[in-house]
Chain A
Amino acid sequence: EAGVAQSPRYKIIEKRQSVAFWCNPISGHATLYWYQQILGQGPKLLIQFQNNGVVDDSQLPKDRFSAERLKGVDSTLKIQPAKLEDSAVYLCASSARNGNTEAFFGQGTRLTVV
């Protein structure tokens, strides 16, 4: 079974530029998550999808971050414009259902904003 795929693995951009990350979840997984992990902290949920609908985006900075999950499969997370404090690892995860189950993570995208 293929795992969660993310790209790119690494990205360096200047502040005020835009960037996009892509995620392909495990086949058949209805729930998809984007987490932000700043060095030394635990993953923080940015947005959670159930199929192609948003379950929770309460911690997504909507003035600069956006995410979509077209057709309930792949997802993209965009930052525009980026700030220095957006430097972090962006993790995508998926699970078969929403709640009380294991979530499986991709390798993450390490973003550095300079």
Chain B
Amino acid sequence: DQQVKQNSPSLSVQEGRISILNCDYTNSMFDYFLWYKKYPAEGPTFLISISSIKDKNEDGRFTVFLNKSAKHLSLHIVPSQPGDSAVYFCAAWGNTGKLIFGQGTTLQVKP
């Protein structure tokens, strides 16, 4: 039962363009969402979060959008840089107090 889904295993974009990573969830009780970035041989690092009372949160080049009615969130990276190449995980806090992760999307930013 995959409650947090990232349906695109990979994404390739040109440097300077926008990267959009998507995430869908099934549990309407989720009320706090996070994005993590993971480089090879390292643990995931926290990137940005959003509470369900908001529909947008911005931090520098990173913006997360939340559409509660569609149970969908997205991470926008503008402009994309080669150093952004990594695996991005969407995660959500469940009502049982568990932090649940999606499968991840590998982003490649080409120079």
The answer to whether residues A100 and B93 also contact, given A41-B103, A45-B100 and a CB cut-off of 8 A, is yes
User: Looking at the complex, which of B37-45, B56-64, B67-75 is the stretch in contact with chain A?
Assistant: B37-45
A33 to B36, CA, bound (A): 16
Q: Does A108 contact B (CB under 8 A)?
A: yes
A97 to B91, CA, bound (A): 16
A56 to B95, CA, bound (A): 13
A100 to B54, CA, bound (A): 14
A101 to B41, CA, bound (A): 24
Is B43 within 8 A of A91, CB to CB?
A: yes
Is A42 within 8 A of B98, CB to CB?
A: no
Q: Whose C-beta in chain A lies nearest to the C-beta of B48? A: A102
A35 to B34, CA, bound (A): 16
Number of B residues contacting the other chain (C-beta, 8 Å)? 25
Q: Whose C-beta in chain B lies nearest to the C-beta of A95? A: B99
Is A103 within 8 A of B46, CB to CB?
A: yes
A 13-45 to B, binary, CB cutoff 8 A, 1 in contact else 0:
000000000000000000001010000111111
Is B102 within 8 A of A102, CB to CB?
A: no
Hey, which chain B residues are within 8 Å of A33, CB to CB? 99
Q: How large is the interface on A (under 10, 10 to 19, 20 to 34, 35 or more residues)?
A: 20 to 34
Q: Does A111 contact B (CB under 8 A)?
A: no
The answer to whether residues A98 and B43 also contact, given A42-B103, A43-B89 and a CB cut-off of 8 A, is no
A interface residues, Cβ below 8 angstroms from B: 4, 6, 33, 35, 40-45, 48, 55-56, 91, 93, 98-108, 110
B interface residues, Cβ below 8 angstroms from A: 4, 6, 31-32, 34, 36, 41-46, 49, 51, 89, 93, 96-104
Extra contacts, 12 of them, besides A4-B43, A56-B98 (Cβ < 8 A), are A6-B43, A40-B103, A42-B4, A42-B6, A43-B101, A44-B101, A48-B97, A56-B97, A99-B93, A100-B31, A102-B46, A107-B43
